[in-house]
Chain A
Amino acid sequence: VNAIDHDSDLKVVGRRLPRVDAGERVTGRALYPADFSRPGMVHGRIKRSTQAHARILSIDTTRAAALKGVVAVVTAADFPEIPLGTTIPSGETGQDLWVASLINMARDKVLWIGQPVAAVAAVDPHVAARALDLIEVSYEPLPPVMSIDAALAPDAPVVHAHLITKGLDQAPRSASNVGARTLIARGDVAAALASAAAVAEQRVVVDTAHQGYLEPQAVVAEAEATGFVTVWASTQGAFQTEMLVAGLLGLSQSRLKVVPLEIGGGFGGKILTHPEPVAVKLAQKSGRPVKIVLSRDEVMIGTGPAAAARIDMRIGADREGRLVAIDGRYYLDSGGIPGTPTTLLMQASAAPYQCENLRLEGFDVVTNKPRTEAYRGPGGIQAAFAVEQAIDMLAQKLDMDPLELRRRNAAVTGSLMPIGTRFPTIGLTTILDRVAAHPCWTEPLAKGAFPRGRGLAVGYWRGTSMTSACHVTVTGDGRPMVTMGAVDLSGTRTTMAQVAAEEFGLSIDDVHVSMGDTKSAGYSDAAAGSRVGRTMAAAVSEACRTAIEQLKARAAERLQCAPAEVHYAAGVFGTSKPGGASITIGELMEATLTEGAIVARGVSTRLPLGVEIGAHVCDVEVDTDTGQVTILRYTAFQDVGRALNPTAVEGQIEGSVAQGLGWALTEGFDFDAQGRLRNASLLDYRMPTALDLPPIDCVIIETPVPDVPYGVRGVGEVPIVPPAAAVANAIARAIGVRMTHMPMTPERVLRALKGDAFGRLA
C-alpha cells in the first residue's frame, strides 16, 4: 500500500468531524448488552469465592437447583478441564486458554476472593441472587499471599504447586510463586555504573488499579435447538470472545456467533472473557436465552485489574549527562494465575533513550489477588513512574535541566531499541523542542499558598499491529458500505468513515461503516494495543481502492473504452478518450447492480509499528498540612503520525491522561491480610471527577510513519504512561521529597514529608 503524502490535500481525513454514532449515544438509543433482551430470556448470576486461597472440598448446589424459578446451575464440572499450556492463536503471542479457564471458573482450588465457583440462571435476577445464597461451598483455607514481597519470601506458601519458574539460567528444582523471568541485556551494566559520574537509584511500589470502565461486563447468550450459539457481547474483540468461548466449552467455532454490541469502555479489561462462557453454558443447560450483567462489586473483585508492581531502577550518566547504563528489576503482580508479560513494560522503561548498557530483568509473580489483565499501555505507567523519576534525579545530581538531559539522550530514528532492532521513525527530539518552546515550560510558576513544582516526563509505548479485515460493498445508489471485523472501541466507525470517504472522494455522509459479527466479517484481532485505527485504515484503504477498480471495469463498458482509460474522482467515472462521456457512481450502480455485487476486501497484517511517544508537563501545588496534591496545569505533547480526526485524538489523550492522574493520586486497590478488597466501590476506589482534574492541554505533533496509509501512529495508550512520573517529579521539585509509592495519596505524601520513603501507615 502506498503511503499518502503527508502534505497532500486531504478532504475528509484529518478533519474534526463528529462521531457518526454520536446521535445514538446522546439520545440513549445506543445498545449495550445490558439493554438487550431475547424472548424467554432468564438471568444468570455468578457465585464467587469468599476465600483468597483455599482448597474446594465440596460444592452443593441441590438447594439452589430446587428453588422455584431456577432453570440451571453450573459449576466447573460442567466445563471441560483445560490442560496447563493450552493456547489459542490470537494476537501476537496467543491466548492462554488454561488461564482463561481459571478466570471462568475455579477448579479444585480458589485463588482470589471473587473468583467464580458456580453460577445459576433464574427467571429474574432477584431469584438468581437468592439461589446463589443456597449454594454451599466448603473450603479448606490456605494462607493467602497478598503482596509481591510476601510471594517472594523464602517460606512463602506456594500458590501453584506446579509452577517452576521459566526463563532462569538454571531451571529451579522446586515450585515457587514466580512464573517467569525475562532478561533483556546488552553491554556491561556493572562496569558502566561503577565509572558513571552520577547514579540515580530508585525503588518504587505501585498498587493494583482498575480500568474503571463505566459499563460493567454484560452478555446475552442463546443456544438454538440445533446447537448453534449466539453471544451478544461487550468485548474488545468479537473473534477473541468466540475463540475463548469455543475453547472453554469445547464448541466448534462454526457453531458459535459473537455479535459485538456497543462497549461502554474497555481499556484492556474486555479482551479476555468473564461472564460469557458461563452465560453460554447456562443457556445450553436451560434451553433459554441467558443474560448476565455484573454488579460493580463483581467488576472490582471479579475482573482483571492492572498489575501492581515493584521496580528497582539504577541509572548512571557521565559528566555530560549521557546515560551510560540502565539497570532495572521489575516485579509484576500477576494475581492468582501466572502469565502476566513483563517485556512490554521493560521496553517502555528504556526505549525513549539511547543507552549502550542495559540490564532489564522482569519477574511475573503470583499472589492471591484477582488475575491481572491489560490496562491501557499495560505496565507503561509503572515503568515510567520508576525510570522518569530516576532520570529526574540524575538531572538534579548533575545540576542539569531535566529537558536538556532528556534531549541529549533521546532515541532517534535508527537508534537501537532495547530489543536490539532499530527504531522506526520517531519524533522525540521534535517533541522535546516543542516542549522547550511552550509556555507550559517557559512561563515561571506563580507563587501559591503552598509549595509548587513543575514536572516533566516522557513516555513510550510500542503498540502493535496484528490483523484487521474489512469488506466494502456498494449500494444500488452508489454509496460505499464498509463492514469491519474489529470492534469499534474508541471511534473507529467514524475514522474509518473518514478514510472510506477520502478514498472514494465522497462526503462522510455518503459512506456507512458497521461492526460485523464473527459470521459476517473477516477475522480481526482485538481492539487493543493502539492498533485498530492504523491497521483498519490500511484495510479500508485497500478495500476501497479495489472496489473502485471493480467499478472502473463496469464503467469502461458504459463509457465504451478500456478499463485503463477510465479515471475516477469524487464520485464520477470519466474517460481519457477524446470526447468521452462520464457517469456518476450512483448512475453506474443503478444501471449495473443486478449484474452482480461489488465486494472488495481489505486485510492488513504486519503493518510497520507506529510507536507512540509523548512528553507531559505538569504543575502541582502540595498542601503540606494535608498532603493533598492539586494539579494546576497539565500539557501533553504527542506525536500521532497523522491525526485522522483531531477531536478524537484529543479525546483519547485527555481521557488517557485522566486515567493516569487517577492512578497517580487516588486509585489503588486496598486488600486486607485475608485478601478482601476493602475499597470495592466507586466511592472508596476513587476515580477522578470533573472537579479533580484541570483542563488537559494537548499539543499534537505529526511525524508520519513511512509505509503506513496516512502515516498514522497509535494514539490511545501512551498518554497514560507519563502522568504519574510527571506528577511525582513536580512533587519532588515542590517539596524536595521523592514519592515512591503509587497512588500518591495525601497520607503517603505526608508520610514522605516525614521521611518514610514508602508512605507506610504503620
Chain B
Amino acid sequence: MRSIVRCEINGEERELLAGGHETLLELLRDRAGLTGTKEGCSNGNCGSCTVLLDGAPVNACLVLAGEAAGARITTIEGVAQGGRLHPVQQAFIEHGGTQCGFCTPGLVLSAKALLDRAERPSEHEIRSAIAGNLCRCTGYDKVVEAVRAAASSMAAGRSNRERN
C-alpha cells in the first residue's frame, strides 16, 4: 500500500509517494533524493540518520514515513542557508570535526538542535547531545571542540546583532 506523504523538507513543501513499511530515512534518501542523511545501522543505534523533525533530533530510521506527514523536516542539505554555512558546519571544518564524514551529517544536526536551545552548553551537555551519534574516526574531541566553537561564534553573532 503506497500513500502520499505531504511534509515540509528543508523549507520546501513536498508530496512524496511512500510504501506503508517505509521509514522516513527511505523517504528522504530514496524518494526525495536527499542522500546526505546516512544509514549506518537501521536500528536507531548509531545516529548517522539524525534529522530534525519539527526541530527535534530523531533517528530517521525509527520514524515511519507516514509519521512525517505534516511535519517540518530539516536534513543536512537544509542546514546551510542561502549558500552560507551554518556556524556548526563552519566549526566542524575549522576544528577537524569531520574525518571520513559518514557520521558528520547526523552529528551536525544533533549539534544544531543543541545550539538551537542552549546558548552556552557545558562540555557535558555537548557530549550528552551527541551521545546518540557514534563516530569511529575522531574520538569525539574535535567534534566537541567544534560544537563549543560554534556556540561561541553564534553568541558573538547574537551580541553583534543586538549592538547594531
Contacts and interface: CB of A to CB of B under 8 A. Distances in A.
Interface of A: 18-19, 21-32, 34-35, 126, 211-216, 262-265, 267, 293, 295-296, 489-491, 647-648, 650-651, 654-659, 681-683, 687, 689-691, 693, 695-696
B142 interface: yes
A403 B121 CA distance: 39
Contact of A213 (B75, B100, B105, B131): B100
Contacts of B99: 490-491, 651, 655
Interface string B69-94: 00000011101100001001100111
15 contacts: A23-B93, A28-B34, A214-B38, A214-B100, A214-B134, A263-B100, A293-B39, A647-B95, A650-B141, A650-B142, A651-B139, A658-B140, A682-B41, A682-B43, A689-B130
A538 B102 CA distance: 29
Nearest to B101: A25
A213 B140 CA distance: 15
Contact of B92 (A26, A264, A659, A687): A26
Nearest to B79: A27
Interface string B15-34: 00001010000000100001
A689 B48 CA distance: 13
Given A26-B89, A689-B131, A691-B128, A655 B138 contact: yes
Contacts of A264: 38, 100-102
A489 B100 CA distance: 7
Given A28-B35, A655-B137, A683-B45, A216 B98 contact: no
Contact of A265 (B21, B37, B45, B136): B136
Most chain A CB within a 10 A radius of its CB, from B43, B85, B99, B103:
B99
A682 B45 contact: yes
B136 A659 contact: yes
Interface in B129-150: 130-144
Interface residues of B, number: 56
Given A26-B98, A29-B36, A295-B42, A214 B141 contact: no
Minimum-distance CB pairs A-B, first 10: A28-B36, A264-B102, A25-B101, A658-B139, A654-B139, A28-B76, A35-B35, A682-B45, A296-B41, A26-B89
B88 to A, nearest CB: 8
Contacts of B101: 21, 24-26, 30, 262, 264
B137 A651 contact: yes
Contacts of A647: 95-96, 142
A28 B139 contact: no
Nearest to B103: A214
Contacts of B139: 651, 654-658, 693, 696
A19 B101 CA distance: 11
Given A28-B34, A650-B141, A691-B128, 20 more contacts: A19-B98, A21-B101, A25-B104, A26-B93, A27-B79, A28-B35, A213-B100, A263-B100, A296-B43, A651-B96, A654-B142, A655-B99, A655-B139, A681-B45, A682-B40, A687-B134, A690-B133, A690-B140, A695-B144, A696-B141
A296 B103 contact: no
A26 B108 contact: yes
A690 B45 CA distance: 14
A690 B123 CA distance: 10
A381 to B, nearest CB: 15
Nearest to B94: A18
A30 B41 CA distance: 19
Nearest to A646: B96
B43 A690 contact: no
B127 interface: yes
Nearest to A28: B36
Contacts of A655: 99, 136-139
State the majority secondary structure of interface residues on B. loop
Nearest to A262: B101
B159 to A, nearest CB: 25
B48 A296 contact: no
Nearest to A215: B102
B108 to A, nearest CB: 6
A27 B34 CA distance: 11
B42 to A, nearest CB: 6
A211 B38 CA distance: 18
B154 interface: no
Nearest to A25: B101
Contacts, number: 169
Contact of B41 (A489, A490, A657, A681): A681
Most chain B CB within a 10 A radius of its CB, from A25, A126, A295, A656:
A25
Most chain A CB within a 10 A radius of its CB, from B46, B48, B96, B128:
B96
Contact of A215 (B40, B77, B108, B130): B40
A27 B89 contact: yes
Contact of A22 (B29, B75, B98, B135): B98
Contact of B36 (A27, A267, A651, A683): A27
Given A28-B76, A262-B101, A296 B40 contact: yes
A236 to B, nearest CB: 11
A682 B61 CA distance: 14
Contacts of A293: 39
Nearest to A657: B139
Nearest to B126: A690
A213 B43 contact: no
Most chain A CB within a 10 A radius of its CB, from B46, B77, B102:
B102
A31 B94 CA distance: 21
Given A651-B142, A682-B41, A689 B96 contact: no
Contact of A28 (B41, B42, B105, B128): B105
Most chain A CB within a 10 A radius of its CB, from B79, B127, B130, B141:
B141
A658 B134 CA distance: 11
A690 B77 contact: no
Contacts of A34: 35, 38-39
A681 B48 CA distance: 14
Contacts of B104: 25-26
Interface string B36-60: 1111111101101000000000000
Contacts of A696: 139, 141
A689 B59 CA distance: 16
A215 B100 contact: yes
Contacts of B40: 214-216, 296, 682
A637 B136 CA distance: 21
Contacts of B96: 18-19, 647-648, 650-651
Contacts of A687: 134, 136
Contacts of B35: 28, 31, 34-35
B79 to A, nearest CB: 7
A490 B136 CA distance: 12
A267 B100 CA distance: 11
Contacts of A648: 96
A29 B79 CA distance: 12
Contact of B75 (A28, A490, A658, A683): A28
B136 A212 contact: yes
Nearest to B135: A214
A292 to B, nearest CB: 13
Given A296-B40, A681-B43, A25 B140 contact: no
Contacts of A658: 136, 138-140
Contact of B37 (A22, A25, A28, A267): A28
Contacts of A19: 93, 96, 98
A288 to B, nearest CB: 17
B27 to A, nearest CB: 14
Contacts of A214: 38, 40, 46, 48, 100, 102-103, 134-136
